[in-house]
Amino acid sequence: MASELLDRIRLSGDVPEHVAIIMDGNGRWARARGLPRHRGHREGMKSVREVIEGCVEAGVRILTLFAFSTENWQRPPQEVSALMSLLQLYARKERAELRRQGVEVHVLGELDRVDPTTRRAVDTIVEGTRGGSELRLNLMISYGGREEILRSARELARCVVAGELALEDIDEDVFAATLFTAELPDPDLLIRTSGEHRLSNFLLWQLAYTELHVSSVLWPDFTREHLFEAVLDYQRRERRFGRVSAP
Ligand code: FPP
């Protein structure tokens, strides 16, 4: 099944270079089974593994996962702490395998809000996977799109006030270079699971021309086959970037 889908992807044209995912539905997955919410998050780790392997197989070069939003800090303390413990576990358990697969992990977001133990754990996965050349994996942690834009605006304003930058020199490229995703191309494809049609403050600047794919599958049930279906859906789209079609 997965190999058939991969063959179709190879025949269908361009593979998206950069895929971003809003991994949603862990809580509902757990509730449907009478389990605590953290069990849904834990199960979600398997899907993270699935999509990483799927991206490597399909030839996607960059994968960006929304692992913890700035809004998620408002969840009950025991859920926040379960999510932080899961990140630590992920860093410990997956580091060697990610390295073997050639995955280079980057962690992006307001990391000064993250506790020192989790911070150290994510640092070890970043250091331990440096140089991986098959896939760049961005884990967005303590990330919010509006906060990111505000941070950039403040930084550029500071440069103008300090006389380091002229107002008229601020264009899209200069602005984009101050975002967490500075050196990366914008996502070609955004996948959101669990049937919700919302951006939830994710990559607000970067998603301007991204193709959206909403899957009704809850994140812990999401497999590489679902990823491949999303890529095939992307390949059927015509991307015009605000222009008209070619004649
Ligand atoms: C949304 O589901 C998911 C999250 C807030 C966390 C995502 C985290 C993981 C998938 C864990 C593993 C990830 C890594 C990178 C180690 P929800 O809780 O909002 O679900 P609900 O909408 O059904 O309540």
Please report the DSSP string for the chain in residue order.
-HHHHHHHHHHHSPPPSEEEEE---HHHHHHHTT--HHHHHHHHHHHHHHHHHHHHHHT--EEEEEEEESGGGGS-HHHHHHHHHHHHHHHHHHHHHHHHHTEEEEEES-GGGS-HHHHHHHHHHHHHHTT--SEEEEEEEEE-HHHHHHHHHHHHHHHHHTTSS-GGG--HHHHHTTSTTTTSPPPSEEEE-TT----TTSSTTTTTT-EEEE--S-GGG--HHHHHHHHHHHHTS---TTSPPP-
Look at 11 and 245; give whichever has higher pLDDT: 11
Question: 185 C-alpha vs ligand 1 centroid, how far in Å?
Answer: 25
What atom in ligand 1 is closest to the CA of residue 37? 18
**pLDDT (mean) for 22-50:** 97
The class of domain 2-144+185-199+210-235 in CATH terms is alpha beta
Look at 49 and 243; give whichever has higher pLDDT: 49
Say yes or no: CB of residue 145 within 6 Å of ligand 1.
Answer: no
Confidence of residue 226 (pLDDT cuts 50, 70, 90): very high
What atom in ligand 1 is closest to the CA of residue 30? 23
Alpha carbon distance 203, 186 (integer Å): 9
Examine the pLDDT at 247 and tell me if it is beyond 70.
no
pLDDT tens readout for residues 67-80: 999 999 999 999 99
pTM (2 d.p.) = 0.96
pLDDT tens readout for residues 118-142: 999 999 999 999 999 999 999 999 9
- What residue spans define the domains of the chain? 2-144+185-199+210-235
**pLDDT (mean) for 158-171:** 98
Say yes or no: CB of residue 85 within 6 Å of ligand 1.
Answer: no
pLDDT at site 45: 97
Confidence of residue 244 (pLDDT cuts 50, 70, 90): confident
Name the residue of 21, 22, 23, 51 to mutate for ligand 1: max ligand atoms within 8 A of Cβ.
23
Say yes or no: CB of residue 41 within 6 Å of ligand 1.
Answer: yes
pLDDT at site 246: 65
Confidence of residue 16 (pLDDT cuts 50, 70, 90): very high
Question: 190 C-alpha vs ligand 1 centroid, how far in Å?
Answer: 16
Alpha carbon distance 233, 211 (integer Å): 9
Say yes or no: CB of residue 24 within 6 Å of ligand 1.
Answer: yes
Burial of 56 (0-12, 13-18, 19+ CB in 10 A): middle
